[in-house]
Amino acid sequence: MEQVLSALTEAACLDSGAVRKVFTLSRQPVTSLPQFFATEDVFFVYGNERFSQEDFELEFEESKAIQQYKKVPGLRNGAGPKPKMPKKELNRTYESNENLLAKLSKDNTALPAILRQKFNIGDMIGDGNFAIVRLCVDKSTNEEYALKIIDKSKCKGKEDMIENEVRILRRLCHPHVMKLVEEQDTKNMLYLVCEYVRGGDLFDAITVAQKFSEDQAALMITHLTSALAYLHNLNIVHRDVKPENLLVDMDGDRVKILKLGDFGLACEVNEPLYTVCGTPTYVAPEILAESGYGLKIDVWAAGVILYILLCGYPPFVSQDNDQEKLFDCILRGQYDFPYEYWHEVSDLAKELIFNMLQLAPEVRFSAEDVLDHPWLQYAACS
């Protein structure tokens, strides 16, 4: 213990001289060596000066700085059976249906003349309980788009959600956000011409690949968090970031390009929100605690996705599919990096996940913080 105090004296260089007292962040005096290797990560050192209880009340910037030095959950041996991905959440627009939209799925004459003049309307590529999606091609450019046809009569009680989604999409223009090209509103139908992304969604890509290399995961997380940073700068929170809502495109070199879609739950944030929404696997703890939440719930969800990309399963799981147990794990931030699946993953990647999955929103990374992290910076240069 005397040797440790001597080393601390040399490192701290206190004005009062030698280090004589050490306390944990929880105000407990440190009197033996094992205390340095227990659960505490942060310590206060004093010489002869008196200490105050106010010393242990950290300001925001101090708290945020400390989080970067706290211990990342360690590699754990004896992982047991590998957890599985949750079942795919069916998108609101891609559930089976039988309704009057059937006519619009085949009969082009029922479509607005302005759309028929500009586009060649092709086959149906998706259908839902209040909408269908058809492929269309711009006659002048041969560019492919997705034509979403929404039956207003089937949207009773959901009008605000649809109007909100369209209103937000009108404002957005970003390479990693699905683009709304144009819209036509009629008495009974709403027609949305959107960017067409041919490669399916990220959930399907994960199902096929199981997991991705660090370079691939870093590129995809860069795409996602650049979209989130753009949204957050507009004070827009997505509220349903998950692999099913990330569309996968390919560039000329077959490199995956992610585009964020489905803005049905998105909204502007001017004060804390309290509506419980989202998808269980990706929901942030402050939503479950109903303590008020904001933009950083999207970063939490992106952290869950990054974890999945690198190992093939989510950080928070319930082996018996008990949702209450899952929520309890999320509320306690209970996850680790089992050795069997994580020993080849870099410490930098795990440290980024750790900072994206901070329980306290005030010390959790922002989307901009994620983009500035060395792991993504290194991947961008490699």
Q: Rounded to an integer, what distance in angstroms lies between the CA atom of residue 127 and that of residue 105?
A: 9
Q: Rounded to an integer, what distance in angstroms lies between the CA atom of residue 10 and that of residue 18?
A: 8
**Nearest in space to 226 (alpha carbons), one of 371, 36, 381, 333:** 371
**Nearest in space to 314 (alpha carbons), one of 74, 79, 85, 90:** 85
Query: Phi first, then psi: what are they for 44, rounded to 5°?
Result: -110, 135
- Residues contacting residue 115 through CB under 8 Å, at least 6 positions apart: 121, 136, 147, 184, 191, 193
The answer to whether 55 is a known catalytic residue is no
Half-sphere exposure of 160 (CA within 13 A, CB side): 3
Instruction: Tell me which residue has tokens 């999207």.
Output: 298
- The one catalytic residue among 127, 240, 298, 369: 240
**Nearest in space to 365 (alpha carbons), one of 273, 274, 296:** 296
**Residue 256, strand partner residues:** 250
242 in a known ligand binding site: no
What distance lies between CA 306 and its chain's CA centroid? Answer: 8
**Nearest in space to 190 (alpha carbons), one of 126, 264, 133, 120:** 133
| Sequential DSSP letters for 37-99 | GSS---EEEESSS---GGGGS--HHHHHHHHTTSPPPPEES---SPP-PPPPPPPTTSS---S
| CA-based torsion, 124, 126, 131, 135: positive or negative | negative
Catalytic annotation, residues: 240
Annotation: binding site: 148
Annotation: binding site for ATP: 148
